[in-house]
Amino acid sequence: MVVSHVFYIYGDYFQLYQPGMLQQMLAGRMPLGVISQHVLLGMSCVMVLPNLMPFLTLVLPARTNRWFNIVVGAIYSVIMLLIAVSSTWYYYIAYALIETVLTLTVVFYAWTWPKQEGS
């Protein structure tokens, strides 16, 4: 999911070039409301989780890892689909759709991954 996360970051970066976006940031506003410490903490958690996935894949038991990938991938897919249908900027829609395809692919592979017997 780290690869798909790169598209999310680029989408947010390019969003800064939209007219009026920097002024909103300087005024403490964002598309979903007022910026606060709680909002930024929540957004940080959303950004950190995909970056932790490679590490968690190595340290979590296979069964836990499988379900974690399914649940997290599904949640991120829904988030990105909501962004895609709510945006009017083509680049943001494209990034959201690419990320949705990638996270749904993770869900598919986690769902269909063969179960391995313990030794």
The pLDDT tens digits for 15-74 are 889 899 889 988 988 877 888 999 999 888 888 888 888 899 899 999 999 999 999 999
What is the arithmetic mean of pLDDT over 68-97?
91
Across 1-119, the runs of DSSP E, i.e. the strands, are 29-30, 33-34
* pLDDT greater than 90 at residue 115: no
**Domain residues of the chain, as ranges?**
2-112
Identify which of 17, 93, 82 has the alpha carbon closest to the alpha carbon of residue 25: 17
* pLDDT greater than 90 at residue 5: no
What is the arithmetic mean of pLDDT over 85-93?
90
The percent helix, strand, coil of the chain (3-state, each to 5) is 75, 5, 20
